[in-house]
Structure 1
Amino acid sequence: MAYGKRETEGVATLADIEALPEGVVGEVIEGTLYVHAQPRAGHMDTLGSLHALLWGPFQKGRSGPGGWWIQVEPGIRLEGSPEFIPDVAGWKKDRVARLPAGSWPVAPDWACEILSPSTRAYDTCIKRPFYARIGIQHLWFIDLDARTLTVSALRDGHWMEVGVYSDEDVVRLPPFEDLELRLGELWPFVEPAAGI
């Protein structure tokens, strides 16, 4: 199942997301409900690897500077907007001192989306411009098929590509320059697709 718009009566709400069948994930972006299949194992493995790499140094301050909240699939509900969910996101603790009791009420400082065949167009064509409009400062796209990480920074309301990195790269990337990342550690060891 590729991503798609789901028709709703009027502006989509959290109730529309909650009414989706099992195995279907939904988000409301600027009043429109978008749905796609639940992520597969490789997607979830990469998501967990990235979270593990960043959480200790940046959230807990273990061998790193601390000062961040690093969250997997956080529900974010901005004023006047239903919930949307990046794959991984981070907030600087000097902006948000405590974890919220419910959904996050402010846009994150950094977001990462893991591209898959079913979500690639949605992440790049719908979420990327939406993230710029709400002021997320740093955006990472991990492409599991190409085994690349694309890093972008928001400048004057537009995304500026910082760079594209792959398997063998060992990098320090904004906004997490204090940590050396070995990108090969992010890619899951998965069976090749049939016919490859």
Structure 2
Amino acid sequence: MAYGKRETEGVATLADIEALPEGVVGEIIDGTLYVHAQPRPGHMDILGGLHAVLWSQFQQGRSGPGGWWIQVEPGIELEDSPEFIPDIAGWRKERIARLPATSWRLAPDWACEILSPSTRGYDQRIKRPFYARIGIRHLWFIDLESRTLTVSELREGRWTELGVYGDDDVVRAAPFEEVELRLGELWPLVEPSDAR
């Protein structure tokens, strides 16, 4: 199942997401409900691996500087978009001192999307400009098919690409430059697929 718009009566609400069938993920961006299939194992493996590295070093401060909240698939509620879910997102603790009791109501400082054949267009055409509009400063796209990490930074309302990195690269990528990431250790050992 590729991503797609789901027709709703009027502006989409959380009730529309709750009514989705099992195995279908929904997000509301600018009042429109978008749906896609749940992620596959390779997607979840790289998600878990990247989260583990960043959570340990940037949230917990183990062998790293700390100072961040790093969350997997956080539910974020903003005024015009009552539910959207980056694959991974981070907030600087200087902006928000404690984890929220329910949903995040503040755009993150960093977001990461893991591209797959079924969500690549959605992440690039819908979420990327949306993330710029709401002021997310740093955006990573991880492409499982090409085994690359694309790092972008928001400058004057537009995305500036800071670099594209691959298998053997050891990188210090904004906003987490304090720690080296060995990309080859993150890629899952799965067969390439045409579906998420």
Aligned partner of residue 82 in structure 1, secondary structure = strand
Q: Could you tell me how far apart the structure 1 residues matched to 2:102 and 2:128 are?
A: 24
Per-residue displacement from partner, 1:129-183 (whole Å, max 9, x unpaired)? 0000000000000000000000000000000000100000001010000110000
Q: Could you tell me how far apart the structure 2 residues matched to 1:192 and 1:136 are?
A: 30
- For structure 1, the 5+ residue unaligned runs are none
Percent sequence identity is: 80
Q: Which one-letter code corresponds to 1:155 in the other structure? A: R
Give 1:15-30 correspondences, 5 Å limit: 15-30=15-30
- 1:82 aligned residue: 82
- For structure 2, the 5+ residue unaligned runs are none
Q: Could you tell me how far apart the structure 2 residues matched to 1:122 and 1:107 are?
A: 19
Q: Could you tell me how far apart the structure 1 residues matched to 2:138 and 2:130 are?
A: 13
Structure 1 segments, 4+ long, off by >6 Å, are: none
Give 1:117-156 correspondences, 5 Å limit: 117-156=117-156
TM-score, scaled relative to structure 1:
0.97
Q: Could you tell me how far apart the structure 2 residues matched to 1:94 and 1:128 are?
A: 25
Q: Could you tell me how far apart the structure 2 residues matched to 1:131 and 1:186 are?
A: 24
Q: Could you tell me how far apart the structure 2 residues matched to 1:145 and 1:186 are?
A: 13
Deviation, structure 1 residue 186: 1.3
The question of whether the paired residues in 1 share the 8 Å contact of 2:29 and 2:80 is answered with no
Q: Could you tell me how far apart the structure 2 residues matched to 1:50 and 1:34 are?
A: 25
Aligned partner of residue 100 in structure 1, secondary structure = coil
Q: Could you tell me how far apart the structure 1 residues matched to 2:102 and 2:193 are?
A: 39
Give 1:37-186 correspondences, 5 Å limit: 37-186=37-186
Per-residue displacement from partner, 1:80-101 (whole Å, max 9, x unpaired)? 4311000000000000100000
Aligned partner of residue 64 in structure 1, secondary structure = coil
Q: Which one-letter code corresponds to 1:47 in the other structure? A: L
Q: Which one-letter code corresponds to 1:91 in the other structure? A: W
- 1:14 aligned residue: 14
Deviation, structure 1 residue 36: 0.4
Per-residue displacement from partner, 1:1-26 (whole Å, max 9, x unpaired)? 00000000000011101100000000
Superposed CA RMSD: 1.0
User: May I ask how many residue pairs the two structures share in their alignment?
Assistant: 194
